[in-house]
Structure 1
Amino acid sequence: MAETVADYLLRRLRTWGVDHVFAYPGDGINGILAAWERADDNPRFIQARHEELSAFEAVGYAKFSGQVGVCAATGGPGAIHLLNGLYDAKLDHVPVVAIVGQQASTSLGGSYQQEVDLSSLYKDVAEYLQVVTTPQQLPNALDRAMRTAYARRTVAALIVPGDVQEAEYSPPTHDFKMVPSSVGISEAVTVPAEEDLEHAAEVLNSGERVAIMVGQGARSAAREVTEVADALGAGVAKALLGKDVLPDDLPWVTGASGLLGTRPSWELMRDCDTLLMIGASFPYSQYLPEYDQARAVQIDIDPMMIGMRYPFEVNLLGDAKATLQTLLPRLQRKDDRSWREKVESGVRDWWELMDRRAHVDADPVNPERVFHELSPQLPEDAIITADSGSAANWYARHLKVREGMRCSLSGTLATMGPGAPYATGAKFAHPDRPVIAVVGDGAMQMNGINELITIGEHWREWSDPRLVVGVLNNRDLNQVTWELRAMGGAPQFVPSQRLPDFDYAAFARSTGMRGIKVEDPGDVADAWREALESRQPCLVEFVTDPTVPPIPPQADWSQVESMASAMLKGDPEAWSVVKEGVKAKAQDFMPKRH
């Protein structure tokens, strides 16, 4: 049998080193599915329960492997379903290639079944987008999609009509209007100009209270960030996507920044006179220094993302590691360490406060305790994923990431639903590492329970079978409930916020996982220990109190007024909210142990 375009597509993916494709079938990709059977499932077809989950799995795989994640779906509804996960990849700068089907080219424009204008649909999400119309076009289109995704850390997409998939493949010839192609791309290291480095050094050397913020773009430069922070006597805050750049057990690392962040990170930005931002596009300017407060330097590899968020005096376009290595010899070590000592004192106070808040009584389980008890039990090589919602608050504040750990969540899109499929993608990227996903009940009911079916199907293939899903069951869409109260001055709207109860632990057991349900705060630590020692995936369902407040690092007066207004308007949980808020805030005034 002659090689088809679909046969060649899979062969080209193998040449690129693609070993998994996260996908869902449909007749729009029947030609590719038939080729997959002929290729003995190489690259591996990982069937999700929904195309959106396919895309999230590809994003998780890409985030934790450093490779391009690939997902595939049929045209029409399948292509539409991929979009949320693809936007998650685009906004978090993750390399993902989507391969989608389309009705036969002979029917296009005829209002045929499942015919959707995919070029218009995908033109915003995909930086490189191409419809493959002839066999000779495929190598160049696929190669450019892979290279664009990898080099630009973004989404690329190929649309392949059904009749083109089944056509006999022939390569581009050595003729006019043919475009040959080749596989592969090399790393490029960009370093700023000498005069710009000198200017940056002058700014940093002149500062007396230096603050550094790192994002995911600094992940390869942890040693250099540490050396710069030591030379400048600086504290280091982390954007949420940069949580695993530096370990949280370093005394001058202040933790996450922003609404979900820590008080020492807020104080670092409030009191500094100099700011160095590395590999971060942190969007919340109100959590950065006042605009006339600090001289500032930014380092970023992406020219589209540099110079935003703050009036930087110097914008250094370059690789974080190489740029810091070139900058370091120009920095003068600061002999006065009083600023560093103040930062470290604030960090110690913070972790003591987190310990006290985690042990405040709640009804039945304090969600802060769930994360506080997990943190010291995290395996040294753990991968942690978190979902959007109130779980992200406790993930950001309570989990102490140590050296060698990896973690991520939907940082910029902040979509619900990726926590569990990220974990699946992480396990296919690193089958020898334990993975922990922390997810709220809203995200579990949205799509997480379906992802448990996929986990139950594949876990026996992984050399380390540990995949632990921790679920916060509070029967409330808790993050939005608190946003209604604190930002909108509105009481909880029960029809929109309350969730139906569901036995997550029992459902997990029905998929072949272990299921543990925790309703006693004294059982939290033992439940995590049991799950992490299990030789099969495990879901731990924690029945938590929805009235424990996610207190921001600094509540302004407008938020206080909004909360009071919400309570006075008849919030159904007003008394519990006030009681838990007072108990949590009271921990700020307890004596410091050190």
Structure 2
Amino acid sequence: MAKTVGDHVLRRLQEWGVEEVFGYPGDGINGLIVAFEKAGDRPRFIQARHEEMSAFEAVGYAKFSGRVGVCMATSGPGAIHLLNGLYDAKLDHVPVVAIVGQTERSAMGGSYQQEVDLQSLFKDVASDYLVEVNVPEQLPNALDRAFRTALTRRAPTALIIPSDLQTEDYSPPAHAFKQVPSSPPGLVAPIVVPEEAELLRAAEVLNGGQRVAILIGQGARGAAAEVEQVADILGAGVAMALVGKDVMSDELPFVTGAVGLLGTRPSYELMRGCDTLLVVGSNFPYSQFLPEFGQARGVQIDIDGAMVGMRYPMEVNLVGDARTTLQALLPMLSGPTDRAWREKIEENVVRWWRTMERQAMLDANPVNPMRIVWELSERLPLNAIVSADSGSVANWYARHLRIRGDVRGSLSGGLATMGAAVPYAIGAKFAHPDRPAIALTGDGAMQMNGMAELLTIARYADRWSDPRCIVCVLHNNDLNQVTWELRAMGGAPKFVESQRLPDVSYADFARGLGFEAFTVTSPDDLGPAWEQALAAERPAVLDVHCDPEVPPIPPHATFEQAESVVQAVLKGDPDALHLAVQGAKTKLREMLPGRRP
């Protein structure tokens, strides 16, 4: 039997080492679906409940595996639904390949059913590489370039294949004019190291610092050991952009945690007091959380030359691989003899974690949401993968989850979209079926799409050698982050019609699907519920009823303010609520420079 274009696509995916394709069927990709069946479901087709979830699952897979995530959708509405997940990949620099169907070529231009101008639709989100395949000879080059571009540029790419082409006989490109062949699948990224003269310039800046701060992002993931050595030599503290929160262990005494809107007080102090700044593998966008312009000398290391020098006036910009660049830089470094700066950083970190514990243990009605993440952190397996949703849960993830061992964690950083935590966890389970995955999500995101994706977890759990996929719902019947933003924008009260959520038992819903399920309405039951969920031999849901009035305190609040404001708000002190709102106003001003809240 002759091989079709669909058959060739599946074979080429196999040659690229693709094991899962996250998708949803439709007649625009029928030829590809038939090819999956003929190929014995290799790679495996993982059916989400919605194409947006397919894209998020591909992003989660890519984030936690380091490999390309692949998603697939039909023409028209299916392709449209992929967009949010693909933008999540674009803004967080994640390699994802989207394969989408299109109406038959003979009908295009005729206002046919599900005919959408997909090239216009995807031209921004897949701007690094987007191609419509119109003859068999365009493959395999088009697919190979989609993969190589996604890997090289850490970006989403898209391949459009009309439905009638998928069933045509495949014929390879010839050695002929206007035919484009391709090499076998595979890509070895180059190791880029800056010139020695530039390294010496960077060393001169860093060695001259008495109070050095290091900011790292996900681009430093392979260089954690080198960052630790640099920090020890320079007597520096290390703060992380939120998508790089899991790059270094929070057990290191000089790691100050996240920086920025959801960051920690020690990171805020680190940036406010430093005289020298080293940025490694981060494009952290909020310059107002970096040192004041002119306060610090700066060095930046990034593999992408287009990203250096954007956020702060750096003296030296080093374009190169983080690990090898730091390895070349290390012999040139000599730190200050006075370690008072480092000692202050470590004191701030100890004090911060004590403050976080005391905040988490404050009584609330019925459960303090900070305690949800704190109790998890105390019990977190050292190989766990944690995803967090956007919303108030991101505050507690950023500040209360302690990274140690081989723990991985992520959320939607640049896009900050709701609804990513549960599909991220599903993608993580396919990337690492032998590791527990935990999704922290608010009830707004859970109602948006998380409940439906519990069906996906239930369907595929038997494919995972470790079946633990735990979804923890912060159940407060409120779109809480926006509620606090409304309060910040002039002290407005909560507008119930926009903010209140329908009440539902997430535990009952999950139990009906065969999950282990726990309803938690008392703080004393929270720790045991986490222990039972982590000990379960099947997926689990924790439905934790928590207090929506716990304020997200901005990082510039002092240790004493942070503790006293939370305590006073929970006791009903209206003046404390006003102070919390004022803090949120300041936070909003930091988010929107030039705007008066």
- What's the TM-score once normalised by structure 2's chain length? 0.94
CA-atom RMSD in angstroms: 1.9
Residue identity matched to 1:523:
D
Q: Please tell me whether the aligned partners of residues 73 and 79 of structure 2 are also in contact (alpha carbons under 8 angstroms).
A: yes
What's the secondary structure of 2:139's corresponding residue? helix
Whole-angstrom distance in 2 between the partners of 1:580 and 1:379:
37
1:584 CA drift (Å): 13
Q: Which residue number in structure 2 is paired with residue 65 of structure 1?
A: 65
1:97-176, aligned counterparts within 5 Å?
A: 97-126=97-126, 127-176=128-177
Q: What runs of 5+ residues in structure 1 fail to find an aligned partner?
A: 564-572, 586-594
Whole-angstrom distance in 2 between the partners of 1:303 and 1:18:
30
Residue identity matched to 2:342:
R
Q: Please tell me whether the aligned partners of residues 246 and 403 of structure 1 are also in contact (alpha carbons under 8 angstroms).
A: no
Whole-angstrom distance in 1 between the partners of 2:108 and 2:580:
63
Q: What runs of 5+ residues in structure 2 fail to find an aligned partner?
A: 583-597
Q: 1:577 to 1:446 in 2, by over 3 A?
A: farther
Whole-angstrom distance in 2 between the partners of 1:448 and 1:313:
46
1:315-368, Cα deviation, whole Å (9 max, x unpaired)? 111100000000001101322111000000000110010011011111000001
1:483 CA drift (Å): 1.2
1:489 CA drift (Å): 3.2
1:413 CA drift (Å): 0.4
Please tell me whether residue 466 in structure 1 is matched to residue 468 in structure 2: yes
Whole-angstrom distance in 2 between the partners of 1:577 and 1:373:
29
Whole-angstrom distance in 1 between the partners of 2:71 and 2:574:
43
- What's the TM-score once normalised by structure 1's chain length? 0.94
1:582 CA drift (Å): 7.8
Q: Which residue number in structure 1 is paired with residue 378 of structure 2?
A: 376
Whole-angstrom distance in 2 between the partners of 1:304 and 1:434:
37
Whole-angstrom distance in 2 between the partners of 1:406 and 1:535:
21
1:115-514, aligned counterparts within 5 Å?
A: 115-126=115-126, 127-182=128-183, 183-514=185-516
1:490-513, Cα deviation, whole Å (9 max, x unpaired)? 221111111111110111111221
1:26 CA drift (Å): 0.4
What's the secondary structure of 2:307's corresponding residue? coil
What's the secondary structure of 1:400's corresponding residue? coil
Residue identity matched to 2:411:
L
Q: Please tell me whether the aligned partners of residues 548 and 580 of structure 1 are also in contact (alpha carbons under 8 angstroms).
A: no
Whole-angstrom distance in 1 between the partners of 2:21 and 2:62:
11
Whole-angstrom distance in 1 between the partners of 2:571 and 2:36:
57
Q: 1:304 to 1:333 in 2, by over 3 A?
A: same
Whole-angstrom distance in 1 between the partners of 2:575 and 2:454:
36
Residue identity matched to 2:58:
A
Whole-angstrom distance in 2 between the partners of 1:384 and 1:574:
32
Whole-angstrom distance in 2 between the partners of 1:487 and 1:362:
25
Counting matched residue pairs gives: 572
Whole-angstrom distance in 2 between the partners of 1:555 and 1:190:
41
Q: Please tell me whether the aligned partners of residues 389 and 445 of structure 2 are also in contact (alpha carbons under 8 angstroms).
A: yes
Whole-angstrom distance in 2 between the partners of 1:488 and 1:173:
67
What's the secondary structure of 2:555's corresponding residue? coil
Q: 1:124 to 1:471 in 2, by over 3 A?
A: same
Q: Please tell me whether the aligned partners of residues 425 and 437 of structure 2 are also in contact (alpha carbons under 8 angstroms).
A: yes
Q: Please tell me whether the aligned partners of residues 547 and 576 of structure 1 are also in contact (alpha carbons under 8 angstroms).
A: no
1:383 CA drift (Å): 0.6
Q: Please tell me whether the aligned partners of residues 548 and 581 of structure 1 are also in contact (alpha carbons under 8 angstroms).
A: no
Equivalent pairs: percent with the same residue?
65
Q: Which residue number in structure 1 is paired with residue 595 of structure 2?
A: none
Q: 1:440 to 1:581 in 2, by over 3 A?
A: farther
1:488 CA drift (Å): 4.5
Residue identity matched to 1:48:
A
Q: 1:145 to 1:433 in 2, by over 3 A?
A: same
Please tell me whether residue 532 in structure 1 is matched to residue 559 in structure 2: no
Residue identity matched to 1:402:
R
Residue identity matched to 2:98:
A
Q: Please tell me whether the aligned partners of residues 23 and 72 of structure 1 are also in contact (alpha carbons under 8 angstroms).
A: yes
Q: Please tell me whether the aligned partners of residues 548 and 577 of structure 1 are also in contact (alpha carbons under 8 angstroms).
A: no
Q: Please tell me whether the aligned partners of residues 22 and 71 of structure 1 are also in contact (alpha carbons under 8 angstroms).
A: yes
1:61-103, Cα deviation, whole Å (9 max, x unpaired)? 0001111000000010000000000000011000000000000
